[in-house]
């Protein structure tokens, strides 16, 4: 049996190149999934922050209303 001829070497190079492309695509898909999960987590965090901010603003309005009621009642006396 003789070694690989020019055709065999060319075929090995092509198959190796295709394998490298498939592996690279696999890595890209995995990275895309990871980035998608990160985006979902960031959206969840942003929504949580928005809810917290709204609750803080509501609390602030409630406190301001209580303070303005105390000031108006103390002015009447």
What is the tens place of the pLDDT at every residue in 2-40? Answer: 577 999 999 999 999 999 999 999 999 999 999 999 999
Residue 70 belongs to a domain: yes
Cβ pair 50, 57 in contact under 8 A: no
Instruction: Please enumerate in sequence order all residues whose Cβ is within 8 A of that of 4, keeping only pairs 6 or more positions apart, or say none.
Output: 12
Residue 1 belongs to a domain: no
pLDDT, position 2: 55
Domain span holding position 45: 7-77
Residue 2 belongs to a domain: no
Q: CA geometry: angle at 25 spanning 24 and 30, to 5°?
A: 100
Q: How many domains does the chain have?
A: 1
Provide the residue count of the chain: 77
Residue 57 belongs to a domain: yes
């Amino acid at each position: 049996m003789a070694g690989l001829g020019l055709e065999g070497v060319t075929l090995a190079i092509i198959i190796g190149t295709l394998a490298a492309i498939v592996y690279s695509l696999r890595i890209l898909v995995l990275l895309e999934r990871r980035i998608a999960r990160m985006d979902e987590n960031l959206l969840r965090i942003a929504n949580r922050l928005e809810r917290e901010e709204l609750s803080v603003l509501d609390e602030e309005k409630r406190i301001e209303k209580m303070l303005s009621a105390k000031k108006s009642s103390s002015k009447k006396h």
